[in-house]
Amino acid sequence: MNENSQTLPCVMIPVCDRHLLLPNVSIAEVVDFNSTDAGASTPDWLVGFLDWRGLTLPVISYDAANGGSLTVPGDNRGRIIVLNTIGPDHNKAPFMALVTQGIPSQARLDERQLRKLDGETGPADLMLVDVEGEAAWIPNLEYLESLAVQARN
């Protein structure tokens, strides 16, 4: 590898019908799936709430937030990814949580390994990319953060 090339530590996160790609720095922690019920009259994308380090975080289903159906993992497969927020409401909601359908995997990527693809995206998708022959979606974190703020109100 060229000594001038830069790699970015990333995480591939399995959700219902795709993998999400995020940089490692966006992830605060990965925990076992364990959340309280969202209750009645809540948005379809809200799985429930996670008690994490003295905070109560809304747990968002990426799939449902993207127009799909809410799928709760079974058989101890799922995890919850706690994400650092970076948007304008960071002070109100410094963290949010996404439910996964499996264990995230690490990847070190450089710009030669990524290629933007044309394809249909939903409101929770920022863009579709090719990662060494495999499709991955980069999430629209601002949109997801807005849902986390909405769930707290």
- With a pLDDT cut of 70, the percent of the chain lying above it is 90
Strand order through the sheet with 36-37? 27-32, 79-84, 95-99, 55-60, 46-52, 36-37
State the burial class of residue 6 (Cβ atoms within 10 Å of its Cβ: 0-12, 13-18, 19+). Answer: exposed
pLDDT at residue 83, as a whole number? 95
Give the pair of three-digit tokens for residue 90.
Answer: 């960071």
pLDDT at residue 40, as a whole number? 66
Phi-psi region of 132 (alpha: psi -120 to 50; beta: other; left: phi over 0): left
**Which residue ranges form the domains of the chain, and what is each CATH number?**
8-152 (2.40.50.180)
Query: Is residue 2 predicted with pLDDT exceeding 60?
Result: no
Query: Is residue 106 predicted with pLDDT exceeding 50?
Result: yes
Query: Is residue 1 predicted with pLDDT exceeding 60?
Result: no
